[in-house]
């Protein structure tokens, strides 16, 4: 049991303005695994005042010192990697081994990448008679989700601090314990007080207070498209910059030149690109677009591969998939599965029933549908669970049309026997990133979406630049 009864504000652990707490539930046992303060708007105000006071000095701190500070934070994450992985495996439900490699490994690497990159930012340049300088935007409010909780924190906090900004963080109340460990790491890393502040609580209270605060210069938000619209609406009243990383309904397009063993491997990898983290991934490739003439073959391959996607206790690595985050999410995903059946999609495997032998925990069977058309609910809405929709097409142009037929544009994949053909097709996709023939995730490359998947970019140099303002001085 991890109980936190204080917030981290201005370099100290302080009591919340309220005495109420929020239970943190273990996704596989459905038992309380910790408590956190239910912060208030008054707590946000205290944190923003601290961040605003710390900004002048931190923004003028030499780049080398900011890099060194982030390296100390990175070392702190590395020293507590096993502990953090176990906490996130409980909070989120990702199997422990993967939680260590992904849920902790990514933020560890990202923190170091930001430290390495800030020395290469073009902080100033001369254009004619103007000196153009880039300066940190100011106080940044970071509002983060539960599915990759520490990764999403690192993707915002590390570049903001690298850029010279100060931060007020609101982690998801569903998976917040890892953020409190991070606050302990910041506290032990000798970061000046007020540079990093943590206020836990709910979105309608703490999140809205951050978005509305007149002394918050920028909000960086990751979450649902619906919530992102609300953040934008509230933030607009003070005309602050808003960066959004929102939902996705990404297509994985298998072109018609894939044959034999290459096709079988591609389909099997496609299941992994959909089911990672029990499908609770914004970039999950949840729509597999396949040549109509090969759909039967691909469905057979997928059905056989599905048998290997076992479900079990994440803390013992008992399965490849753990539970979903909550009972609400479990019921929501099962509702989508029923909707797919009702609307006429062919159920290949899985289903809405509870997995056998797991009476406790928010588990859902990994599920595959075939014969899915673009007008079906499961082809349009972000399910955020382990549900794959196989969608047939007749021509490349039709495949591109289907891929671009949702409101989202976060990610995608193109698989082909020809890398050049895959790249050519990828240029037709209205998405922020595309995996070509299973290309690996690159934490130094820009990440973000088109359309209702958001605006702005995270990660790498682009992520740091998101937190900078540009000033021209005419000489």
* Nearest residue to 429 (alpha-carbon basis) of 296, 294, 247, 289: 289
Given 173, 245, 465, 466, the catalytic residue: 245
Joined together, the tokens standing for residue 115 give 């430290």
Count of C-beta atoms within a 10 Å radius of residue 224 = 16
The yes-or-no answer on residue 469 being catalytic is no
Count of C-beta atoms within a 10 Å radius of residue 428 = 18
CB proximity list for 278: less than 8 A, separation 6 or greater:
93, 94, 321, 322, 323, 324, 364, 366, 385, 386
Q: For residue 245, which phi and psi values (nearest 5 degrees)?
A: -120, 110
User: H or E segment at 111?
Assistant: helix 105-117
* Nearest residue to 151 (alpha-carbon basis) of 107, 188, 115: 107
The yes-or-no answer on residue 282 being catalytic is yes
Distance, CA of 244 to CA of 228 (rounded, Å): 7
Joined together, the tokens standing for residue 383 give 């399910």
Distance, CA of 11 to CA of 22 (rounded, Å): 23
* Nearest residue to 92 (alpha-carbon basis) of 326, 345, 357: 326
Joined together, the tokens standing for residue 290 give 């396949």
Under a CB-based contact definition with an 8 Å cutoff, are residues 129 and 475 in contact?
yes
Distance, CA of 257 to CA of 291 (rounded, Å): 10
Distance, CA of 302 to CA of 309 (rounded, Å): 11
**Residue 353 three-state SS:** coil
Integer CA distances (angstroms), 87 to 25, 150, 154, 268, 362, in order: 11, 11, 17, 30, 17
**Catalytic (active-site) positions:** 245, 282
């Amino acid at each position: 049991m991890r109980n936190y009864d204080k917030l981290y504000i201005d370099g100290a652990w302080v009591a919340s303005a309220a005495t109420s707490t929020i239970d943190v539930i273990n996704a596989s046992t459905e038992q309380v695994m910790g408590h956190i303060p239910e912060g208030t708007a008054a707590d946000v105000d205290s944190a923003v005042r601290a961040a605003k006071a710390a900004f002048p000095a931190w923004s003028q701190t030499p780049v080398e010192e900011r890099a060194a500070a982030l390296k100390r934070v990175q070392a702190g994450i590395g020293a507590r990697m096993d502990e953090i992985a176990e906490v996130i495996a409980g909070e989120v439900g990702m199997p422990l081994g993967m939680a260590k490699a992904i849920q902790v490994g990514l933020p560890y690497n990202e923190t170091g990448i930001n430290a390495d990159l800030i020395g290469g930012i073009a902080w100033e340049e001369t254009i004619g008679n103007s000196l153009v300088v880039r300066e940190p935007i100011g106080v940044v409010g970071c509002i983060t989700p539960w599915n990759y909780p520490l990764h999403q924190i690192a993707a915002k906090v590390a570049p903001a601090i690298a850029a010279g900004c100060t931060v007020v963080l609101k982690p998801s109340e569903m998976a917040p314990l890892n953020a409190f460990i991070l606050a302990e790491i910041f506290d032990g890393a000798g970061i000046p007080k007020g540079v990093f502040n943590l206020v836990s609580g709910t979105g309608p209270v703490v999140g809205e207070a951050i978005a509305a605060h007149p002394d918050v210069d920028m909000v960086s938000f990751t979450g649902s498209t619906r919530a992102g619209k609300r953040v934008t609406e509230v933030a607009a009243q003070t005309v602050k910059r808003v960066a959004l990383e929102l939902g996705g309904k990404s297509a994985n397009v298998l072109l018609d030149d894939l044959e034999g063993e290459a096709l079988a491997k591609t389909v099997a990898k496609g299941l992994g690109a959909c089911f990672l983290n029990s499908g609770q991934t914004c970039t999950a490739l949840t729509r597999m677009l396949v040549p109509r003439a090969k759909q039967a073959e691909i469905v057979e391959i997928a059905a056989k591969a599905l048998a290997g996607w076992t479900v079990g206790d994440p803390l013992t690595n008992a399965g490849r998939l753990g539970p979903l985050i909550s009972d609400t999410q479990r019921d929501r995903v099962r509702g989508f599965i029923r909707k797919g059946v009702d609307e006429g999609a062919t159920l290949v495997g899985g289903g809405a029933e509870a997995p056998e032998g797991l009476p406790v925990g928010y588990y859902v069977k990994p599920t595959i549908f075939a014969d899915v058309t673009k007008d079906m609910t499961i082809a349009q809405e972000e399910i955020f669970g382990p549900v794959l929709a196989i969608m047939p097409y007749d021509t490349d142009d039709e495949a591109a049309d289907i891929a671009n037929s949702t409101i989202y544009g976060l990610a995608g994949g193109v698989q082909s026997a020809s890398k050049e053909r895959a790249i050519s097709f990828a240029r037709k996709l209205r998405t922020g990133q595309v995996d070509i023939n299973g290309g690996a995730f690159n934490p130094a490359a820009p990440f973000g979406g088109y359309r209702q998947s958001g605006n702005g970019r995270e990660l790498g140099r682009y992520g740091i630049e998101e937190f900078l303002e540009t000033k021209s001085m005419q000489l």
